[in-house]
Structure 1
Amino acid sequence: MPDPTRQFFTATPESVGQARDFALTTLSSWGLSARAEDIRLCVSELASNALAHGTAPGHGFLVKIEADDDFVRLEVHDSRGRRPAVRHPTDTDTSGRGLLIVEALSDGWGVEDRRPFGKIVWSRFKAGGDTMLTRSAAPAFTTSGPGPGLLVSLGAWTWPGTDPVGAGIAHILLAHPPGRTSHDTAEAIEARMRHTAESLGGLAGARESIPDLYGRLRVIGDRVLLRFHSTRYGLWLPAHPTWTELVTGRGKAVLLIGLDPLPQSADAARVDAFLDAALAADRLLFGLARIT
C-alpha cells in the first residue's frame, strides 16, 4: 500500500487549485484513476470550505490522502472547531452546495476533532476498478474545470432554433450519460453537471435571467470548441453548416445543461422528450455562450 501523503496550504485563493493539483498528482502517482474526478471535486469543495470558514487568521489548511486495497481516504484539516452542516439551498442560491456535493460523490464522509485544536473533515471513496498497489508515471491532470474523463463521457447535441423574438439562434445541450457504476447515482450526476455549469461561468434556471458566458465558444474553421474556466481541456461540439453559420453569424448560442442523465446515443425525438420533461421539472440550466 502507498504511504499516506499530506501537504499544507496557506490561506490564499490560489490554494484551492493547488490542493486539487496535489490530489491529482498523488492519485496519478499511485495509479488510481477510477474515482479521480469525484475526489478532485470533493477536494475543491472541502478546501473551499476550509478557506472560507475553517482557517483562523494566520492559519492555513492541510490535505491528507491515504489508500488501501478498498478505499481512498481524503482529509482536510483546519484550525477551527466549528463543525460544518449540510445545507439544502434552493435552485436560485449561488452557494451552500459544497457538502451536498461531497455527500453525493463520496462513499461516506464525516467530521473528527483534531488535536490540539481544529477539526478534520474526511471523505472516502471505494477503489472501483483500480489496483491500489499499481504505480504510474503518467502525468497528472492540472485543471480546475471538468476533467477529461467527465468531458469524454458527456453527451452533446446541437441544433438551430429560435430566440424569444423568433430570430434564429444556435442551441447546445450537454447531459451526463446514465450511470454505469454504483458511484453514478442521480445525486452524483447532478453534482457533476452543476460543477460543469459553474466551470462555464454559472448558468441559471428557466425562471431566472439567462447569464452571458463570454469567451466560452471558439470557432476554428468549421468546428466549434466549448471552453471552460481555468482548464486546458475543451469539448468539440457536433457541428453542421446551418448550425455553425448561426454561431458565427450571431456570435452566440443558447447553452442548456441537463441535471438528469441522457444516453449519448439519444436521437432527436428522445432529446425533445428529455427537454420537455426537464423543463417541466425545472431540471435545466441555461446560459448564453458567446464567441471568444
Structure 2
Amino acid sequence: MAELCEVNFRLVRRRSSVPRVRALLRAKLGEWRAGEAPADTAELVLSELVTNALRVAVPGDRMIGVRIMCRDRGASLRLEVSDAGGGRPVVRRPAELETGGRGLLLVEALAYRWGVDERSAGIGKTVWAEVMAPGAASEPVAAEAEIAAATVRPGQSVRVWGAWCTVRSVRSERYASGGLAVVIGLDDGPGLRMDAAEPLMVRDGVRPPAAGDPVVAS
C-alpha cells in the first residue's frame, strides 16, 4: 500500500500567509523525506491557491483551511485550500499587458489536475490541485501534443523556429510583476524564456535528424 502523509492547518487572512504556507510546505516535505522533484511546483501552486482564497469575500474573519497530502515520498502531492466564500473560481485568459489574473492559469499549467468541491461541512468551497513528480503520472504524454511551457521536461523535444530541438534543462523564475517564467535550455540554438502557461508543441524523445545534419559513420 502506498505511503500517505497528511497535515491540516489554518491560515489567517493576511498577505503574510502566502510565504508562511510555502515555508510550511517545505518543512513538511523535508519531515516526510519527500523527493525534491515536485517541491518547487507544489510551492507555486499552493501559493497561488492561497492568494486566490485571500481575495475572496467571506463573512466575518473566517480563516483559510489548508490540507497537504503526500504520497510515496512526494511522487504525488494533493494540495487543498478551503475558504468560506461563495462562487467558483474560473480560469481567466488576461491580455498580455495585464499584470494580474493569471493565478488559476498557472495552476492549470503546473498541476496534473485540479478542481473545485463544495465543502462537506460548513459554507464555502475547496479548491484542490494534484502535483506529480516527473514520470509518476499514470497518463503518458501523447506522442506529439501542445502543452504549457511549465510542464515541459528535459529529454523531450519542442518545436521551435520550424524544427524539433531537444530540451536539455528547464528552470523557472519570477517576472518583476510576480508572474512565472520558464527558461528552457536546448541542444541547438539559444534557449527559450517564456510565460509558464504559453503553449509549446512537444513530443517525447530526441529530435530526428534534419536535412543537412552531419552524418556520423559508425
Alignment TM class, shorter chain as reference: 0.5 to 0.7
1:180 to 154, 157, 163: 154
Cross-structure match for 1:271: 190
Aligned pairs, number = 165
Amino acid at match of 1:179: R
Q: CA deviation at 1:260?
A: 6.3
Q: Which structure shows the higher helix fraction?
A: 1
Pairing of 1:19-168 with structure 2 (within 5 A) = 19-32=21-34, 33-53=36-56, 55-69=58-72, 71-114=76-119, 115-128=121-134
Who is 2:19 aligned against? 17
Residue 20 of structure 1, CA deviation: 1.0
Query: Residues 18 and 203 of structure 1: is their aligned pair in 2 closer, same or farther, counting only changes over 3 Å?
Result: closer
Stretches of structure 2 lacking an aligned partner (at least 5 in a row)? 137-149, 159-170, 200-218
Provide the C-alpha distance between the structure 2 equivalents of 1:103 and 1:19, rounded to a whole number of angstroms: 20
Unpaired segments ≥5 residues, structure 1:
131-175, 185-191, 205-256, 284-292
For residues 12 and 63 of structure 1, what CA distance do their matches in structure 2 show? 14
How far residue 120 of structure 1 moved from its aligned partner, in angstroms, is 0.4
Task: Assess if the C-alpha contact under 8 Å between 1:2 and 1:30 holds in 2.
Answer: no
- CA distance in structure 2 between the aligned counterparts of 1:258 and 1:127, rounded to whole angstroms: 20
Q: For residue 185 of structure 2, what is the aligned residue in structure 1?
A: 262
Q: CA deviation at 1:17?
A: 0.9
Cα shift at 1:66: 0.8
Shift of 1:59: 1.2
User: How far did residue 181 of structure 1 move?
Assistant: 6.7
Percent identical among aligned pairs is: 30
Q: Cα–Cα, structure 1 residues 262 and 62, in superposed 2: closer, same or farther, change >3 Å? A: same
1:128–1:60 distance in 2 versus 1, CA, 3 Å: same
Letter of the 1:196 counterpart = R
Most deviating of 103-112 and 74-83: 74-83
The 3 A distance-change label for structure 1 pair 122 and 181 is: farther
Partner Cα separation in structure 2 for residue 258 and residue 13 of structure 1:
22
* TM-score relative to the length of structure 2: 0.64
Q: Do residues 202 (structure 1) and 177 (structure 2) align?
A: yes
State the match for 1:164 in structure 2. Answer: none
Indicate conservation of the 8 Å contact 1:4/1:66, yes or no: yes
Q: Cα RMSD over matched residues? A: 3.6
Q: 1:262: how far off?
A: 3.1
> For residue 205 of structure 2, what is the aligned residue in structure 1?
none
Determine the C-alpha separation between the residues in 2 that align with 1:11 and 1:17. Answer: 13
